[in-house]
A and B are shown apart, each in its own frame.
Chain A
Amino acid sequence: MPSDPVSAKIVVSGGFGVGKTTFVGALSEITPLTTEAALTEVSRGVDDTSAVAAKSTTTVAFDFGRVTLDGNIVLYLFGTPGQERFTFLWDDLVDGTLGAVVLVDTRRIGDAYPALDYFESAGIPLAVGLNEFPDGERYALEEVREALGVAAGVPLVPCDARDRTAVKRVVLALLDLVIDGA
């Protein structure tokens, strides 16, 4: 094998406050870093200084972590910004991803819909991590699957985002799915 480093990416998505950064941090070898993406035409902008004045002022922060595997593979985990009005930013973040983890809070299942819609319509391999909060009701997995409206082939994995083993289980379910589709 060549020793040239190779990067890979998984995106971690879901509703606001569902535990994306915690999930990323549970696996990352670094404390999750926050960086900013400038919104709007910045990513598809006109290469002209005169156009800059018309650009929006909004920035949006996203978190990411990294894991070095096997010496020369670096796996990045990128959390999508939580507010669904920013899904148009995701194209850029998601481009080239191996797949997506969508975290679901069983108390607020509907919060996951924009993320599920986005990845399903983009044809991106998807695994659902069911983040069970202590005060949330426990549901049977098939009940949750029905409520989410995800296909039978989508792995649905119970997950505590603080627990490295549980987070690994979700990521492995996604990678197995990606490998099966390769």
Chain B
Amino acid sequence: MNDDPDPILRPFIVTGGRTHPVDQRLRVETLVSAAPAALAAPLGFERRRIVELCRLPVSVAEIARGVGVPVGVARVLVADLLAERLVTIHASVTDTPNVTRELLERIRDGVRAL
């Protein structure tokens, strides 16, 4: 018999078993920033760690890496923090109709200048 807990199940314990984020805007590249009040808020380990990582804007993928959880778990945790207004998220280029040619050209010019 295999008594090992399912390696996927364990990460989702921190989300209370939930696998579905409450906010669908959270992509792997979505940038997340901590709200000023969040740094002083009483938070559990993973949530505290996320808030600390987000002092400067970082992506959901970087949060997953920083907390050591799969992306799906990070997404649920960030969605909760977002609902509690402890973090804010920033737009991705392709989020809205605001993906202008000017913005795309800024990206291209930025890559060219690297």
Chain A interface (Cβ < 8 Å from any Cβ of B): 4-9, 27, 33-38, 41-43, 45-49, 52-53, 55-59, 64, 66-67, 69-70, 73-76, 78, 92-93, 95-98, 164, 168, 171-172, 175-176, 178-179, 182
Contact = CB atoms under 8 A, between A and B. Distances in A.
A43 to B, nearest CB: 6
B111 A67 contact: yes
A41 to B, nearest CB: 7
B107 A8 contact: yes
Nearest to B94: A96
B70 interface: yes
Nearest to A1: B106
Nearest to A58: B8
A38 B103 contact: no
Given A5-B31, A43-B72, A70 B106 contact: yes
A57 B110 contact: no
Contacts of A182: 99-101, 104
Contact of A33 (B31, B62, B92): B62
A8 B20 CA distance: 24
B70 A59 contact: yes
B3 interface: no
B31 A7 contact: yes
21 contacts: A8-B107, A9-B93, A35-B71, A36-B71, A37-B70, A38-B71, A42-B72, A45-B20, A52-B9, A52-B17, A52-B19, A67-B110, A69-B114, A70-B109, A76-B28, A78-B61, A96-B95, A98-B93, A168-B114, A172-B108, A182-B104
Given A76-B61, A182-B99, A57 B19 contact: no
Contacts of B71: 35-38, 92
A115 B12 CA distance: 30
Contacts of B104: 98, 175, 178-179, 182
B112 A172 contact: yes
- List of 5 A-B pairs having minimum Cβ-Cβ separation, nearest first: A69-B110, A49-B17, A45-B19, A8-B93, A175-B108
A41 B12 CA distance: 13
Nearest to B93: A8
B30 A38 contact: no
B29 A9 contact: yes
A67 B92 contact: no
B64 interface: yes
Contact of A37 (B18, B72, B109, B110): B72
Contacts of A42: 8, 12, 19, 70, 72
A164 B18 CA distance: 41
Given A64-B61, A74-B59, A59 B94 contact: no
